[in-house]
Structure 1
Amino acid sequence: MSDHLLDHVRPYLDRDPEERIAYIRAPRWIGHHVARDSHRRLAELLSRPPSFRTQGLMLVGPYANGKTMIAERFAVEHLRSSPEQRVWIAQTREGAGLGHFYASILRALRAPGGDIWDVGRKAEQLDHLLANLKPRVLIFDEFHNALRGRARDVEAVFAFLRRIGRQYDISPVLIGEVAIYDFVNATSEMASRFDLVAVPRWQYDENYLMLLDSLEAALPLARTSDLSNEPMARRVFSISEGLIGEIIAIVTKAAVAAIRSGSERITRAGVDELRHVPISHRRNAALRESLL
């Protein structure tokens, strides 16, 4: 029986094992409540009226919790529905100062010269591109990378964010760890410019159990795994530490193992056999010593 699967997933049961495994391993969008709220807030930035003091957003939460996927999915949906690109994503580079920060944006805008050393030339090139491309929303992924330099460098980055709002009507979106929240809220002036969209760890609640049910329905296994039942749900929650990236990784690996073993369902024993090490334990001294 395949009643536990979504309609578009059932045909994959007739595929050969490697095709099914490839489908299981493919990135997938999970439209959970935080993701939907984030997309609504991002869409409001696109539809807002022009302003000389634009409002921005912070998407803040722990590593491996889906923040980048939320932003990328929004950008892709925008491209599909809009005749012109108004949303751009910059991967914020490691390194302090405006030079590295400008280079991140130039690379995102697919401009040459991102590696030139002259910060003034980078600024001129960037101003020219922003004036011509007219972005509406500029998303900075891993923005905490820009906050690791000297105080004056960080202030210069925030001054740039204020200027692009005033000069080019761009709403900045800052994605990353809790350091972003701390720096933005260090002054009332910056705190007034950014709203927070929290992307916290999942709690063991009904939303989490619904997430497991959604994952099970999307994985072409012939037998029901009952992922949302105890003690399976508790075990996955424990070793994932409530991080959606880890939850998906664990369930995906267990589903692949279930196909290869012929069991066609994820079991508690199968999850344990993965020997998945939670992120917080990966710097464990005993584990590290075993690798030497």
Structure 2
Amino acid sequence: MEYSHIAPQFRSVMELSDLERIKFMEEARWVDYPAGNKLLDLLNGLLLKPPRPRMPNVLVVGASNSGKTTVIHRFKKLCGAPYISDDGVSVRPVVYAEIHKPDERELYNAILDNFWAPHNPAAPLAKLRHQAIHLIREARTRMLIIDEIHTVNNGSPTKKADVMNELKMLANILQIPLVLVGTRVALQLLRLDPQYSSRFEVLSLPNWEVNPDFQRFLKSFESVLPLKKPSKLFSPDLATLIHAISEGITGNVEYLLQECAKEAIQTGSELIDRRLLEKNQWMRPTNGSRERIL
């Protein structure tokens, strides 16, 4: 069987066992889509900016599970992979760190953890800051990405301002672009001080609408699902149902289709149809969570 609905580079997967096909499906895999590709292009343009006293910075926002972090990791893989320079320096073009509470030490500990650098998490802030800045400069880093920035909003007004001022200072000292990533709650941080809003351009990763772009995304996504029969997820009927269940959020679409494909393999139906999608409407987010009745 030719499996013309599967991307050519993945057709050999169709000869694997059911368990192996499910394992393949659960591996991280990039699927092109317009908003994601546009964000990749914008970040790449930012990375190529020559140093200057006030570098452009961006805040990337979107709904929870909208694919923000997936795009960031794709960018790191394509443009930020470490390498050894001609003069023997271990270069890290992009440094990525996640923070989970509104605290300056959390910021620097996350950066130092990314370098696998020995450090004392409880050390004085000045020492952590000095060590992080030294490593970033030594690695000739050209972009600093801070993910989950919306968690800073959990702090008091003073703690929020402290973290944002620390980030502003880092951008000034290092003269590299700063990319903050978070949910739309993070927009509140830019309203704390006019200086913050003037320093950051906001890039929004939107939810899908039921349109040709969404249908093309579903067709591309179907081409990496190792099902033996074509599902035609891009058809208007199925596309509308998938959008309703997922609320147009990229991560929810992926989770829904992977779970349905897994069941299709296990039951032997080998395709995702309306019945299977309707059966899995429990995946529709409710107050940010999913509940499966067992």
User: TM-score by structure 2 length?
Assistant: 0.90
Code of the residue aligned with 2:99 in structure 1: it is T
Aligned counterpart for 1:274 among listed residues 257, 280, 285: 280
1:248-284 deviation digits (Å, cap 9, x = unpaired): 1111111111111111111111122335332225669
Which residue pairs with 1:147 in the alignment?
A: 153
Q: Does the 8 A contact of 1:52 with 1:166 survive in 2? A: yes
Which residue pairs with 2:106 in the alignment?
A: 100
1:156-203 deviation digits (Å, cap 9, x = unpaired): 222222222222112110100112222214433222211121112111
Which residue pairs with 1:243 in the alignment?
A: 249
Bigger shift: residues 155-164 or 248-257: 155-164
Bigger shift: residues 8-17 or 57-66: 8-17
1:44-63 deviation digits (Å, cap 9, x = unpaired): 12111111111111110110
The CA deviation at 1:244 is 0.6
Code of the residue aligned with 2:196 in structure 1: it is M
Supply the distance in 2 between the matched residues of 1:191 and 1:173 (Cα, whole angstroms): 13
Q: Secondary structure at the match of 2:111?
A: helix
Supply the distance in 2 between the matched residues of 1:190 and 1:281 (Cα, whole angstroms): 30
Counterparts in 2 of 1:250 and 1:147: CA distance versus 1, 3 Å: same
Counterparts in 2 of 1:81 and 1:6: CA distance versus 1, 3 Å: farther
Code of the residue aligned with 1:51 in structure 2: it is R
Supply the distance in 2 between the matched residues of 1:242 and 1:163 (Cα, whole angstroms): 37
Supply the distance in 2 between the matched residues of 1:283 and 1:16 (Cα, whole angstroms): 32
Supply the distance in 2 between the matched residues of 1:276 and 1:68 (Cα, whole angstroms): 25
Unaligned runs of 5+ in 1: none
Identity of aligned residues (%): 25
Q: Does the 8 A contact of 1:101 with 1:146 survive in 2? A: no
Counterparts in 2 of 1:82 and 1:57: CA distance versus 1, 3 Å: farther
The answer to whether residue 103 in structure 2 is matched with residue 87 in structure 1 is no
Q: Secondary structure at the match of 2:283?
A: coil
Any residues of structure 2 matched to 1:11-26 within 5 Å, and which?
11-26=12-27
Which residue pairs with 2:210 in the alignment?
A: 204
Counterparts in 2 of 1:283 and 1:177: CA distance versus 1, 3 Å: closer
The CA deviation at 1:246 is 0.7
Which residue pairs with 1:223 in the alignment?
A: 229
Bigger shift: residues 260-269 or 143-152: 143-152
The answer to whether residue 271 in structure 2 is matched with residue 265 in structure 1 is yes
Supply the distance in 1 between the matched residues of 2:74 and 2:120 (Cα, whole angstroms): 26
Q: Does the 8 A contact of 1:102 with 1:126 survive in 2? A: yes
Q: Does the 8 A contact of 2:133 with 2:174 survive in 1? A: no
Q: Secondary structure at the match of 1:198?
A: strand
Q: Secondary structure at the match of 1:175?
A: strand
Q: Secondary structure at the match of 1:51?
A: coil
Supply the distance in 2 between the matched residues of 1:281 and 1:158 (Cα, whole angstroms): 29
Q: CA RMSD in A?
A: 2.2
The CA deviation at 1:97 is 2.5
